[in-house]
Amino acid sequence: MAMEVRDSLEITHTGEYLNFLKCYFRPFSVILYQITKPQFTDNPEHKLRNIIIEILNRLPHSEVLRPFVQELLKVAMHVLTTDNEENGLICIRIIFDLLRNFRPTQETEVQPFLDFVCKIYQNFRLTVSHFFESGALVAPAMPPPSSMSALPSLGGDDVKPMEISDQVGSSTTSSTGSGQLNPSTRSFKIVTESPLVVMFLFQLYNRLVQTNIPQLLPLMVSAISVPGPDKVPPHLKTHFTELKGAQVKTVSFLTYLLKSFADYIRPHEESICKSIVNLLVTCSDSVSIR
């Protein structure tokens, strides 16, 4: 049924949009909050959650949606902080588009996102260690197809970001080619997409700078200083490119801070300069990174 709704979304561009929201928004929220749980294997429950999140992402941002914006922000934040990388990336787009188009008037509505960004930067070194150190340097073996359906669900009631990290942290299987899905709290892709939203929030709510930069800035400076492995096995090249991409996006954000809030950057000048030099040396030839 969810697929049928997704394939019939043209109704949201008609006069029936409000009725569509009244009919489906609450059930979609219940499915994401209560009926299903975050999944870290590519299974039917993950696909259901993914379809619903994609539907929410494709809702037109007209005035009809405005009464649902606050609740949609909460749903997107819930999924972003507890779910896997694939669903988390969609939720970042939902959050950014809602903030850009509706600009919530209460700063309390956006602080949870900034708290999450601090958390993923706090976990950054652990994320690098997970992908590139110890057993992760060994190419993962492909499990037989019959065993994929037997992989356990790692979701749970009231799952918190750090709990997810602990649950899957012992696994050395990457998300590519194995059916495993990274948690959003352990994702270079999520880190890459976050600074743009933070920059936008700081432009909207100047007071957020004073309350968040003292905590966020040192975490970002620490993240860009992580060198990564000296030698990258072929099966980890994608993760290495994502690592460097996340660091480059973070440097871009720090450059933005330098233009407008130089006093915050000044104590970290030497460390930032060393990290930029290291990035120039270690970045791949990827156009998106260069």
Pair 119, 80 in one domain: no
Dump pLDDT digits (tens) for 224-279: 999 988 888 999 999 999 999 999 999 999 999 888 888 989 999 999 999 999 99
Residue 28: C-alpha distances to residues 69, 97, 217, 250 (Å):
14, 19, 36, 34
Pair 77, 125 in one domain: no
User: What value does the mean pLDDT take over residues 165-169?
Assistant: 37
Pair 77, 123 in one domain: no
Pair 211, 285 in one domain: yes
Pair 165, 242 in one domain: yes
Count CB-CB contacts under 10 A for residue 272.
18
Whether residue 146 is contained in a domain is answered as no
Count CB-CB contacts under 10 A for residue 142.
12
pLDDT at 136: 56
Whether residue 58 is contained in a domain is answered as yes
Pair 100, 116 in one domain: no
From CA 18, how far away is CA 22, in angstroms rounded? 6
* Domain ranges, residue 35: 1-105
pLDDT at 138: 55
Whether residue 150 is contained in a domain is answered as no
User: What value does the mean pLDDT take over residues 158-174?
Assistant: 37
Pair 208, 120 in one domain: yes
Whether residue 212 is contained in a domain is answered as yes
41 has which bridge partners?
Answer: 180
Pair 30, 115 in one domain: no
Dump pLDDT digits (tens) for 142-154: 444 443 333 333 3
Pair 220, 164 in one domain: yes
DSSP H helical ranges for 175-236: 188-204, 207-224
Q: Over 138-169, what HEC string results?
A: CCCCCCCHHHHCCCCCCCCCCCCHHHHHHHHC
The two three-digit tokens of residue 119, written as one number: 């958390």
Q: Are 283 and 290 in contact (CB under 8 A)?
A: yes
Whether residue 187 is contained in a domain is answered as yes
pTM, two decimal places: 0.82
Q: How many domains does the chain have?
A: 2
From CA 15, how far away is CA 3, in angstroms rounded? 22
Residue whose entry in the numeric block shows the structure tokens 């970290």: 268
